[in-house]
């Protein structure tokens, strides 16, 4: 996956609150993609790409949630 566009989440925002107790990595909450950094700050991910067979496709929050779910249960 490639984070194509992102913005640092403002302190006190819904994304920052959702990220508060999560480990670093990519997450989905309320149909929004966000990343938790190693310093516990959060990025609101505006566009996520998946690279496959030399091309890139945009990944929706629902698609990423399905990917996470299937990865954990395979």
Task: Supply the pLDDT for residue 14.
Answer: 87
Name the band, by pLDDT with cuts 50, 70 and 90, for residue 40.
confident
Q: State the burial class of residue 70 (Cβ atoms within 10 Å of its Cβ: 0-12, 13-18, 19+).
A: exposed
List the Cα angle 38/36/23 in 5-degree steps.
Answer: 75
Q: What is the pLDDT of residues 7-38, one digit of tens each?
A: 999 999 988 988 888 999 999 988 999 999 99
What does the pLDDT look like over 51-61, one tens digit per residue? 989 899 999 99
Query: What pLDDT score was predicted for residue 74?
Result: 63
Place 71 in a pLDDT band, splitting at 50, 70 and 90.
confident
The pTM (predicted TM-score) of the whole model is 0.83
Q: What region does 12 belong to: left with phi over 0, alpha with psi -120 to 50, or beta?
A: left
Q: Where are the domains of the chain?
A: 2-72
What is the DSSP code (8-state) at residue 53?
A: T
> Degrees (nearest 5) of the Cα angle 22, 27, 31?
125
């Amino acid at each position: 996956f490639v984070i194509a566009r992102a913005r640092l989440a403002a302190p006190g925002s819904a994304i920052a609150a959702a990220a508060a107790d999560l480990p670093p990595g990519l997450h989905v909450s309320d149909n929004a993609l966000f990343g938790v950094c190693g310093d516990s700050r959060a990025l609101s991910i505006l566009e996520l790409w998946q690279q496959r067979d030399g091309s890139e496709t945009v990944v929706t929050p629902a698609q990423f949630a399905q990917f996470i779910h299937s990865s954990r249960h395979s």
